[in-house]
Amino acid sequence: MSNQRTINCLKALRDLRYQLELKDSKLPTLSKWKLHIVSENNFPTAAGLASSAAGFAAFVVAIAKLYQLPQSMSELSKIARQGSGSACRSLFGGFVAWEMGQLEDGSDSMAVPVNELNDWSSMKAIILVVSDSKKDTSSTMGMQLTVKTSDLFQERVKTVVPKRFVQMKEAIINKDFATFAELTMKDSNSFHATCLDSFPPIFYMNDTSRKIIKLCHKINEYYGESVVAYTFDAGPNAVLYYLEENENKLLPFIYKSFNQVPGWDSKYTSNDLQDFLKNFQESILPKFAEHNELDEEVHKGVSRVILSRVGAGPQSTDKCLIDSSTGLPK
Amino acid sequence: MSNQRTINCLKALRDLRYQLELKDSKLPTLSKWKLHIVSENNFPTAAGLASSAAGFAAFVVAIAKLYQLPQSMSELSKIARQGSGSACRSLFGGFVAWEMGQLEDGSDSMAVPVNELNDWSSMKAIILVVSDSKKDTSSTMGMQLTVKTSDLFQERVKTVVPKRFVQMKEAIINKDFATFAELTMKDSNSFHATCLDSFPPIFYMNDTSRKIIKLCHKINEYYGESVVAYTFDAGPNAVLYYLEENENKLLPFIYKSFNQVPGWDSKYTSNDLQDFLKNFQESILPKFAEHNELDEEVHKGVSRVILSRVGAGPQSTDKCLIDSSTGLPK
């Protein structure tokens, strides 16, 4: 195992197991055993789609289960965080808060759930995969450069984020989509602003990302209310949030713009999709002022649509990637 | 005359003329005369290339000359500022500081020269015209939105800019290109960061702008020193600054990247240009690591190269756009 962050996570998990074995000598000394770990990933990696967050969360929870560790998910999130910062959030389902903690070295920074899973189950997401090529700048290296060189970053950390963090938790608890949407979009913009303020500047978003942002603002403006919120992580891909009850407002616009992109038939029938187009043509287009026309090219920068919703955390599975007779990958 | 900002400038100039006439009754009462103003502009307008700054500076200085106003250029800059904020700077040649002033209403905000013209005459500029189509957002409206909605803007105004302003004046006075370059690039990034932090976000730069930024950082990295600085005003066009003595370092990279774009022959002979290409092929390419290769597509987003240098302010001319026999435009 050559990845230092993986080694650090594994060491922390082994230490916890070793504490258990010290207290109970009947336990097998798993902490001394070698591990053969085989993993599989069906998501684009290093593309700003949180693949490493998902991977490290799965890894930490799987080993913790093997070692029968009694620690809570929040305690385990401190370990996952050493693999990939945002992995700490991925140990839970639903909406999760990544608390900064008090200690200078960040060792008490961990994730706690904001709401119970499915408490706001009508929240859905559309991921527009803008590019699944690898990024110029990795999230971790980018963040380090921003902390070191951006003059505006300190203001974001000390003033902007703490205030938004409290407002965001409240919005989620109150299921207040308008506030959730505004905070989500503003915080995405603020994060990318501090990336741009780094030196040399870091650009995760591209012209397609920008067109998607404009489209979302046009849609909300058209309805005079927030039916969609965009957010961009450390990459050009857009995550759009919306409520199931607004699907018939949002999807005509989105499907009209991205119907040439694969992924729609994973969740919608061809009848549903036809209805979206029909709604756009018949209800929206006539009321859509000419100067506000949609960009007919935006789909060209998008390679895939992933339809999703707020989901569960790591799940146990019976599927095994190791051939139990040889101990080698299948 | 329908443009309110032009009307405001003219009113302020007329008031100053009227003061003169009150003091000296022998003066013709030009302040009461109607004016017939014809102007011509050879620069792309509303494209983020400071065309309105140039236009309002020329307008204010021309009327002030007609009215024989005794006010200094700095005093006149307060009037030009009402036409277009940055017009106040364009009343001088060389490097100009736009002082914020002390008054709440901004009425004492004006421009003062930082150095004498030609004091740092080896400073040259390359403007890469990325798009001369009109912008989505005008500079003035964009700035108003940023002031109103960006959380990071206050930090930029209160902390970041005042510190940089002092350092920048010092760098210009000391002809310290390395410091000048770093401050120029950082301040451009910081400005665009607060645009992105506005709500809805404002994007003046596009993918081509970004590629140019990356190219500049590559060039400085290659030489291990600052030979070029980029800055972007409220538009996607790049202004690159460099010193004449570094021309043979910089131009091989820039001409290699943009030789398909028109504008080069306005200042260079075809022999000069051949030499730049030859230098690139023979001296630079062999030492340029493969992973650092130049983007062969960047020229596609650029429509024109404008070769310039730090110039003079408004100049008097004998050329007249009015037919003196009819009083109408020629």
Condensed to tens digits (0 to 9), the pLDDT of residues B77-106 reads: 999 999 988 899 999 989 999 988 888 888
CA distances from B261 to B114, B220, B255, B269, B305 (A): 34, 23, 9, 15, 7
Structural domain contains residue A38: yes
Residue-level pLDDT at A16: 97
Residue-level pLDDT at A40: 86
Q: Distance, in angstroms, between B8 CA and closest chain A CA? A: 30
Residues B258 and B170 in one domain: yes
Enumerate residues 6+ apart whose C-beta is below 8 A from B40: B321
Residue-level pLDDT at B291: 60
Range in A63-72, A102-111, B150-159 with the lowest mean pLDDT: A102-111
Nearest to A199 among B186, B199, B214 (CB): B186
Residues B273 and B147 in one domain: yes
Using a CB-CB cut-off of 8 Å, the residues of chain B touching A185 are: 199
Nearest to A190 among B152, B156, B192 (CB): B152
User: Could you give the number of structural domains in chain A?
Assistant: 1
pLDDT at B278 over 90: yes
Residues B17 and B135 in one domain: no
Nearest to B189 among A155, A160, A199 (CB): A199
pLDDT at A48 over 90: no
What are residue B229's DSSP bridge partners? B241
**Residue B154, SS3?**
helix
Residues B185 and B318 in one domain: no
> Of residues B225 and A86, which shows the higher confidence score?
B225
Residues B44 and B165 in one domain: no
Distance CA B77, CA B83 (A): 10
pLDDT at A105 over 90: no
Residue-level pLDDT at B77: 92
Which amino acid does the sequence have at B256?
K
Q: Distance, in angstroms, between A143 CA and closest chain B CA? A: 16
- Closest chain B residue to A236 measured between Cα atoms? B207
> Of residues A202 and B47, which shows the higher confidence score?
A202
Residues B206 and B101 in one domain: no
Reported confidence tier of residue A284, pLDDT bands at 50, 70, 90: very high
Alpha helices (runs of H) in B89-137, residue ranges in sequence order: none
Q: Distance, in angstroms, between A50 CA and closest chain B CA? A: 23
Pairwise CB contact (< 8 Å): B151 & A201: no
Looking at chain A, the whole-number percentage of residues with pLDDT higher than 70 is: 95
Residues B195 and B326 in one domain: no
Domain residue limits at B178: 122-309
Residue-level pLDDT at B50: 77
Distance CA B57, CA B219 (A): 35
Residues B10 and B85 in one domain: yes
pLDDT at A77 over 70: yes
DSSP B232: E
Residues B159 and B144 in one domain: yes
Enumerate residues 6+ apart whose C-beta is below 8 A from A63: A10, A13, A35
**Residue A23, SS3?**
helix
Residue-level pLDDT at B286: 87
This complex has an ipTM of 0.86
Mean pLDDT of A190-214: 96
Residue-level pLDDT at B290: 64
Which of B137, B161, B186, B189 to mutate to test binding with chain A, by most A CBs within 10 Å of its CB? B189
Pairwise CB contact (< 8 Å): A197 & B206: no
Residues B131 and B60 in one domain: no
Residues B150 and B298 in one domain: yes
Q: Distance, in angstroms, between A170 CA and closest chain B CA? A: 20
Element spanning B270, H or E: helix B270-279
Q: Residue B78's CB: how many other CB atoms inside 10 A? A: 19
Pairwise CB contact (< 8 Å): B197 & A199: no
Using a CB-CB cut-off of 8 Å, the residues of chain B touching A200 are: 213-214, 217
CB A96 within 8 A of CB A89: yes
CATH number, domain of A42, equals 3.30.230.10
Pairwise CB contact (< 8 Å): B199 & A192: no
Structural domain contains residue A68: yes
Distance CA B119, CA B175 (A): 9
Pairwise CB contact (< 8 Å): A196 & B196: yes
> What Rg, from alpha-carbon coordinates, does chain B have?
22
